[in-house]
Amino acid sequence: MAPARPVLQEDLLQSLRAVRVDHELKLDGRLDDPAWAQAPVAGGFRETWPDYGAPAKRDTEVKVLYDARYLYIGARLSHPEGARDIVRRIHRRDQDSPSDWFTVYVDSLHDHRSGYAFFVNAGGVQRDASLYNDTAMDFSWDGVWESAVHEDAEGWTCELKIPLSLLRIRPGEAHQTWGINFGRSDQGAVREQTQWMVPPRGESAFVSRFPDLTGLEGLSPLPRRELAPYLSLQDKLETASNYDDRGLKWGAGGDGHFGLGPNGQLDLSVRPDFGQVEVDQAVLNLSTTETWLPEKRPFFLDGADIFRTNGPTLFYSRRIGAGVSAYTPGPGETILEQPSAQDIDAAAKYTVKTEGGLAFGALGARTGAADATLREADGSEIHPQLAGADSFGVLRATQTLDDRGSYLGLFTGLRAPSTEGSDASQITAADGAWKSQDRSARLSFALDHSDSGPRGDQASGWYGTASGAKSWASGWNASGSLENAGRDFNVNGLGYMGRADYQSASASVSRNWDATAGVFRNWGWGAWGDVMRDQTGVVIDRSMGLNGHTDFTNFWSLWGGGSLSLPAFDDHELRAYDAPVKKYLRRPARPSMNVGMDTAANRPWYGRLSLSHSWNEGGGSASADFFQSLKPAPALEVQFETVLSHDAGTRAWLETVGTAPPAVPGQDSGTPLTGLRRLSGFNQTLRVSYAFSPALTVQAFSQWMENAWDYRDLRAYQDDWTLVPSSTTDPTAFNDRLWILNLITRWEFKPGSAFYFVYTHGASTDALTSGRAALSPVTDLGALNHVPSDDVVQMKLSWMFR
């Protein structure tokens, strides 16, 4: 067994001097400007994977230059085998790939907690991210900067040119010291990930361990001034709506980014358009928890890390501009126009980070009312309101307490509807974190308060959490947390939470080995357990689990685990939320297991297979998820993902009725009806990406999903321990099928300016074709070609002025 060399304290005592130049560098990736010869070299990289702390197998040399407007980084990444061993993938900006990458990490405020990351791969593709909370990285941040790459007999070289206006710089200091680090990823014959500075194993640290970048003199903060207006044109060719909404629509708006003060930034957006964003992947949700949709809109992604808090998500930006329910026309009414979502009239965001460690963010947005247009039988038009106008406001402040990333924070948020009787939401919170001197232990907390509901009749609730984690250099890790959410705590008007009304405790322990034994490498195991009860003391979850994983020396991986949910009571499944006395559905014990493996990601074919099985009261439940990636050429990638699932029977709610058996005294008249739900699912996604260059890319996405489910052994609720046989005349079998196609062409004709061409097709039907939860994918796919569909073509031109 060969353990990796540990990272020692003396390995952390690194620094690099930047050299000032008197002219602006023109990038070609060759490092042939005479100024590069005057700059000191950073080298001696160490591995972060697969052998943590071991010396890098390939040499990397990095130099730093600067002038009054730019920071320049030049790197030579040696390949003894020459250019034939370089793995270059060409694809759209801001996407990851198994290719050779070089990364620069910059802590320009030297606050040891935040910064920026700039990535460039051997094919010239750029990525960037913001760093926060010392160890976290947010890839939603986007900046406009330049890079160039070049290959030669010794490997490849790259140059990065980063505008100082992108960085937050301390004002008024003649001599500055920043934090800096470099990273490299190789996917060729020698696979490894390396960094100039590698924190010792057992530390929860990254930015706070950056070496110093010295020699920075005479720098002043440069305000960022960017204005990007846009024009868009949309043509709906076919429609699946219950009215004719085909035809042309045009739009105009813009985004702006303006530096305010030495470290502040104001972002503005007027009538933002998000037509170039890939459509949300559809999911079947039969649970009591709202589906979480990831944010994809650039305005809300940029700088989102500053609004994050411990505990539940207090600001869920998808609430702004959310979809609205379709209008159901009455007798004689004809729909002429109907919006699918609220329009965002305007939004503004201000963020600032000071040299004293204070970070502050403010965001405000206004959505307009969503009104439908209907023609009455007499020819007159009416405009029923589907959703009223909303105003949103969020404030967040954090104060760094030390150079290890400890902090205290405050949050307040408000959603103020304009319509009388609509639910308003107000949230206030305090949170914080502390790290030990050696950065191996972390404690965090949050205390939140919410007021939600119609004005004058709002309910107030509290939430609190405390958690801790500890790591050891030997590879041991332990963590635990406590949570308490009151029954009336509710942030879903502005944020997102799965549920309230609970008290929970959880703990976990794990052990990892950085070692090689035969064909095995870097293995580990973990165990966990949690318990949850509602505020009345009824246990609603008791579960425990064990998992393990290992890599192999051929870079394949294997993982697996098992868990056991002990008998408990489900207080949500019966949907009796407003009942004066809670109704519970008793759940029996439920064991489950899973296993998975994947192949080496740097090969032309990559596969990942995950299998799971659980034992429910109505039979077994199994699922298989098979993901494949084909890379036949550097500029082409095809991804397939196939998911198959079958559940023989889980006790689930079907409907609520007011008939026999009689309602229990003291409860409402509605009686929940349940059944053993049998469910079969099939989900096939396909992504095809081709890059003519990093600036001109085409991406196609297709999703074909089918689900069929039915209910048997119908039983009605009598009390928390008793379900009695029952029946219903309503449907007990259901189908859902859809096909989505999305094509996005993006041409960035100059940095920050782009043209998009987008085509979207969507067809769905819930017509019942199987009453026994059976699937017939081939037949149903043909049927989807004969149902009404939404077909939309959109073009968008955005031009950046700097």
Examine residue 488 and state whether it is found in any structural domain, yes or no.
yes
653's CB contacts (< 8 A; 6+ apart) are 573, 574, 575, 585, 672, 673, 674
795's CB contacts (< 8 A; 6+ apart) are 232, 233, 755, 756, 757, 758
Averaged pLDDT, 211-216: 96
Beta pairing class for 19-20 and 60-66:
parallel
Averaged pLDDT, 491-515: 96
112 residue type, one letter? H
Please, which pLDDT band fits residue 402 given cuts at 50, 70 and 90? confident
Please, which pLDDT band fits residue 14 given cuts at 50, 70 and 90? confident
| Tokens 């010792």, located at residue | 200
Q: What is the pLDDT of residue 590?
A: 97
Examine residue 536 and state whether it is found in any structural domain, yes or no.
no
Q: What is the pLDDT of residues 31-62, one digit of tens each?
A: 999 999 999 999 999 999 999 999 999 999 99
Q: What is the pLDDT of residues 706-762, one digit of tens each?
A: 999 999 999 999 999 999 999 888 899 999 999 999 999 999 999 889 999 999 999
Q: What is the pLDDT of residues 306-321, one digit of tens each?
A: 899 999 999 999 999 8
733 CB neighbour count, 10 Å cutoff: 17
The H or E element spanning position 779 is helix 777-784
Q: Are residues 63 and 199 in the same domain?
A: yes
20's CB contacts (< 8 A; 6+ apart) are 65, 66, 67, 215, 217, 218
Q: What is the mean pLDDT of the chain?
A: 91
Q: What is the pLDDT of residue 6?
A: 52
CA dihedral 284, 289, 294, 300 (to 10 degrees): 140
CA dihedral 265, 266, 272, 278 (to 10 degrees): 20
Examine residue 158 and state whether it is found in any structural domain, yes or no.
yes
Please, which pLDDT band fits residue 297 given cuts at 50, 70 and 90? confident
Strand blocks (E) in 300-439:
334-337, 344-353, 358-367, 370-371, 373-375, 381-382, 385-387, 390-400, 407-417, 423-435
55 CB neighbour count, 10 Å cutoff: 12
Q: Which residue has the higher pLDDT, 767 or 797?
A: 797
Averaged pLDDT, 553-575: 96
Q: What is the pLDDT of residue 9?
A: 45
CA–CA gap between residue 345 and residue 253 (Å, rounded): 10
Q: What is the pLDDT of residue 1?
A: 39
Q: Is the pLDDT of residue 658 over 70?
A: no
Q: What is the CA radius of gyration of the chain?
A: 28
Q: Are residues 169 and 318 in the same domain?
A: no
Examine residue 579 and state whether it is found in any structural domain, yes or no.
no
Beta bridge partners of 105: 117, 181
Walk across the sheet containing 146-152 and list its strands: 19-20, 60-66, 70-78, 155-163, 146-152
Q: Are residues 307 and 212 in the same domain?
A: no
Examine residue 130 and state whether it is found in any structural domain, yes or no.
yes
Structure tokens at 222: 């440069």
Structure tokens at 217: 């003199």
Q: What is the pLDDT of residue 275?
A: 56
Q: Are residues 208 and 307 in the same domain?
A: no
Examine residue 595 and state whether it is found in any structural domain, yes or no.
no
Q: Is the pLDDT of residue 663 over 90?
A: no
Q: Are residues 168 and 57 in the same domain?
A: yes
The SS3 assignment for 292 reads: coil
Q: What is the pLDDT of residues 321-341, one digit of tens each?
A: 888 888 888 888 888 888 888
Please, which pLDDT band fits residue 355 given cuts at 50, 70 and 90? confident
Q: Is the pLDDT of residue 10 over 50?
A: no
287 CB neighbour count, 10 Å cutoff: 11
CA–CA gap between residue 272 and residue 496 (Å, rounded): 23
Q: What is the pLDDT of residues 338-348, one digit of tens each?
A: 888 888 999 99
Q: Which residue has the higher pLDDT, 610 or 92?
A: 610
Helices (runs of H) and strands (runs of E) counted in the chain: 2, 47
Please, which pLDDT band fits residue 429 given cuts at 50, 70 and 90? very high
Please, which pLDDT band fits residue 660 given cuts at 50, 70 and 90? very low
Question: Could you write out the DSSP letters of every residue in 146-183?
Answer: EEEEEEETTEEEEEEEEEGGGS---SS-SEEEEEEEEE
Q: What is the pLDDT of residues 283-294, one digit of tens each?
A: 888 888 888 888
- Residue 325 structural domain: 303-471+483-494
Q: How many domains would you assign to the chain?
A: 2
Q: Are residues 194 and 335 in the same domain?
A: no
Q: Are residues 332 and 464 in the same domain?
A: yes
Examine residue 366 and state whether it is found in any structural domain, yes or no.
yes
CA–CA gap between residue 673 and residue 726 (Å, rounded): 8
Examine residue 728 and state whether it is found in any structural domain, yes or no.
no
Query: Which of 669, 734, 677, 739 has the alpha carbon at shortest distance from 708?
Result: 734
Highest mean pLDDT among 35-44, 108-117, 420-429: 35-44
Q: Is the pLDDT of residue 485 over 60?
A: yes
CA–CA gap between residue 268 and residue 346 (Å, rounded): 8
Q: What is the pLDDT of residue 720?
A: 93
Please, which pLDDT band fits residue 588 given cuts at 50, 70 and 90? very high
Q: Are residues 203 and 309 in the same domain?
A: no
Phi, psi (rounded to 5 degrees) for 144: -105, 115
425 residue type, one letter? S
Provide the CA 524 distance to its chain's centre, in angstroms. 26
Q: Are residues 315 and 439 in the same domain?
A: yes
Domain C-terminal end among 191, 217, 243: 217
Q: Is the pLDDT of residue 180 over 70?
A: yes
CA–CA gap between residue 58 and residue 264 (Å, rounded): 40
CA dihedral 768, 773, 775, 779 (to 10 degrees): -20
Provide the residue count of the chain.
802
Domain C-terminal end among 185, 217, 249: 217
Q: What is the pLDDT of residues 229-283, one digit of tens each?
A: 999 999 999 998 877 888 999 989 988 989 887 788 899 998 876 655 666 788 8
Assign residue 54 the CATH number of its domain: 2.60.40.1190
Please, which pLDDT band fits residue 367 given cuts at 50, 70 and 90? very high
C-alpha distance from residue 178 to each of 198, 208, 252, 490, 633 (Å): 17, 11, 41, 42, 40
**Cis peptide leading into residue 294 (ω within 30°):** no
| Tokens 């206004």, located at residue | 366
C-alpha distance from residue 512 to each of 33, 144, 471, 476 (Å): 46, 39, 11, 7
